[in-house]
């Protein structure tokens, strides 16, 4: 009982300070001196060796654990219910964690609530929808994987023989739409006639459905497949067995498809290391960090043997385009697959225009699904 009173008082003190702290940079409340030992808690929604989403965060956890004086504690398979709040409290109060990484979208509300209750603990969330008024001790960060999908699309457009590629999505959420659009636009940038069949499985993890979907897409003539599910392993292996090309997602899957692997869209969550270092040193940190290749927050997997040098060069040139900000993902003229005009000739959306991307709930022209 006393505990919640104290934290509420802290919250008032802190929210007063937040107004002066300003927009994007929050100073660490009550903490100026550097720390010697910090315990960092990582919370995963699934198993961390899943060759996918959770593994990409586990990779970051290993980098964080390598920082001097940092101990990492991890908990897997934490559902997005009241349980996650209790796990956070348990990590803070029983393990002494000072930084909490919540690596699933659905943790957001719980993280914000806990951030008010524990104002001197740093919380990070991978949804990157922090906005003015949210607690100052929360960081949202996330890479624009649609840029990496664009590069996969270039490789797919060059390698496809049928002119049809396939995209498997888990849930109808904004980043799935963006990733798919990136993939298709990349393919159309080298071959305007490319079309893409999209299937939403409706589940984050359902191997049977993913394998069945991969087979269906291949039966429809798609000869490059990318799967935006928690663990694309099944889809990559199924496509490899059917002798078509695949692109990876989340982490490096090249070893699973020695013949058909082109490249893959990967996260680079290493910014987490910066946040922890800043926290330990008592420095300030951004509340919101989004970025693509320019900010080094996404990556592509090593090319598969099937990809010839000229295609690799073309992909890497586009990557440089994102780094130099000369290449824009969304630019006019652009229509969605229902014939609505999204962008007029000459209209350009900045690659960092997060509000635009959050509102994407359509597929570009040439997409069936």
At 365, list the tokens.
């022209």
Taking residue 320's Cβ as centre, other Cβ atoms within 10 Å add up to 12
65 in contact with another protein (CB under 8 A)? no
User: What radius of gyration, in Å, describes the C-alpha atoms of the chain?
Assistant: 21
3-state secondary structure of 73: strand
266 in contact with another protein (CB under 8 A)? no
Pick the piece of the chain touching another protein (CB under 8 A) from 9-17, 90-98, 150-158, 338-346.
Answer: 90-98
173 in contact with another protein (CB under 8 A)? yes
Measured from the CB atom, is 201 or 263 closer to another protein?
201
What is the C-alpha separation between 205 and 156, in angstroms, rounded? 24
369 in contact with another protein (CB under 8 A)? yes
Closest CA to 354 of 129, 105, 22: 129
How near is the Cβ of 112 to another protein at its closest, in Å?
12
Number of H helices, E strands in the chain: 11, 17
- Tell me how many residues contact another protein (CB under 8 A): 76
Return the residue of 22, 69, 79, 333 that touches another protein, per CB under 8 A.
79
**With 0-12 CB in 10 A as exposed, 13-18 as middle and 19+ as buried, what is 7?**
middle
Closest CA to 114 of 145, 83, 141: 83
β-pair partners for 288:
140
Binding mask 104-143 for another protein (x = CB under 8 A): -xx-xx-----------------x-x--------------
46 in contact with another protein (CB under 8 A)? yes
Pick the piece of the chain touching another protein (CB under 8 A) from 14-22, 169-177, 285-293, 328-336.
Answer: 169-177
What is the C-alpha separation between 342 and 253, in angstroms, rounded? 34
242 in contact with another protein (CB under 8 A)? yes
218 in contact with another protein (CB under 8 A)? yes
Binding mask 186-215 for another protein (x = CB under 8 A): -----------xxxxxxxxxxxxxxxxx-x
Residues 287-346 contacting another protein, CB under 8 A: none
How near is the Cβ of 27 to another protein at its closest, in Å?
27
Question: How many angstroms separate the Cα of 172 from the Cα of each of 44, 141, 218, 283, 333?
Answer: 21, 21, 22, 38, 24
Asked if residues 364 and 187 have their Cβ atoms less than 8 Å apart, the reply is no
At 346, list the tokens.
């000459």
How near is the Cβ of 29 to another protein at its closest, in Å?
22
What is the C-alpha separation between 187 and 222, in angstroms, rounded? 13
At 16, list the tokens.
């007063």
How near is the Cβ of 119 to another protein at its closest, in Å?
16
How near is the Cβ of 213 to another protein at its closest, in Å?
4
80 in contact with another protein (CB under 8 A)? yes
How near is the Cβ of 109 to another protein at its closest, in Å?
8
How near is the Cβ of 82 to another protein at its closest, in Å?
5
361 in contact with another protein (CB under 8 A)? yes
Return the residue of 238, 254, 271, 351 that touches another protein, per CB under 8 A.
238
């Amino acid at each position: 009982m006393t505990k919640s009173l104290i934290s509420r008082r802290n919250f008032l003190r802190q929210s007063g300070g937040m107004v002066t702290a300003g927009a994007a940079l929050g100073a660490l409340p009550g903490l100026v001196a550097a720390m010697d030992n910090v315990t960092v808690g990582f919370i995963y929604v699934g198993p961390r060796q899943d060759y996918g989403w959770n593994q990409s965060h586990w990779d970051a956890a290993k980098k964080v654990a390598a920082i001097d004086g940092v101990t990492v504690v991890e908990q897997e398979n934490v559902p997005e219910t009241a349980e996650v709040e209790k796990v956070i409290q348990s990590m803070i109060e029983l393990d002494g964690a000072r930084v909490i990484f919540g690596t699933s979208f659905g943790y957001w509300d719980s993280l914000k609530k806990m951030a008010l209750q524990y104002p001197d603990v740093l919380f990070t969330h991978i949804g990157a929808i922090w906005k003015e008024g949210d607690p100052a001790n929360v960081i949202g960060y996330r890479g624009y994987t649609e840029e990496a999908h664009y590069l996969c699309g270039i490789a797919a457009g060059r390698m496809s023989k049928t002119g049809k590629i396939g995209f498997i999505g888990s849930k109808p959420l904004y980043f799935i739409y963006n990733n798919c659009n990136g993939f298709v636009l990349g393919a159309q940038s080298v071959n305007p006639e490319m079309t893409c069949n999209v299937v939403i499985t409706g589940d984050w993890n359902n191997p049977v459905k993913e394998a069945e979907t991969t087979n269906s897409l291949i039966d429809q003539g798609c000869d490059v497949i990318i799967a935006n599910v928690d663990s694309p392993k099944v889809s990559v292996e199924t496509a490899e067995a059917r002798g078509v090309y695949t692109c990876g997602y989340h982490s490096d899957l090249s070893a699973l498809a020695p013949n058909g692997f082109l490249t893959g869209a990967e996260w680079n969550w290493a910014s987490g290391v910066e946040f922890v270092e800043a926290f330990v040193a008592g420095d300030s940190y951004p509340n919101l960090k989004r970025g693509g290749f320019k900010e080094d927050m996404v990556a592509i997997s090593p090319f598969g043997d099937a990809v010839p040098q000229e295609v690799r060069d073309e992909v890497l040139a586009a990557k440089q385009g994102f780094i130099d900000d000369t290449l824009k993902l969304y630019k006019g003229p652009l229509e969605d697959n229902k014939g609505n005009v999204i962008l007029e000739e000459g209209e350009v959306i900045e690659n960092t225009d997060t509000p635009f991307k959050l509102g994407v709930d359509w597929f570009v022209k040439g997409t069936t699904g």
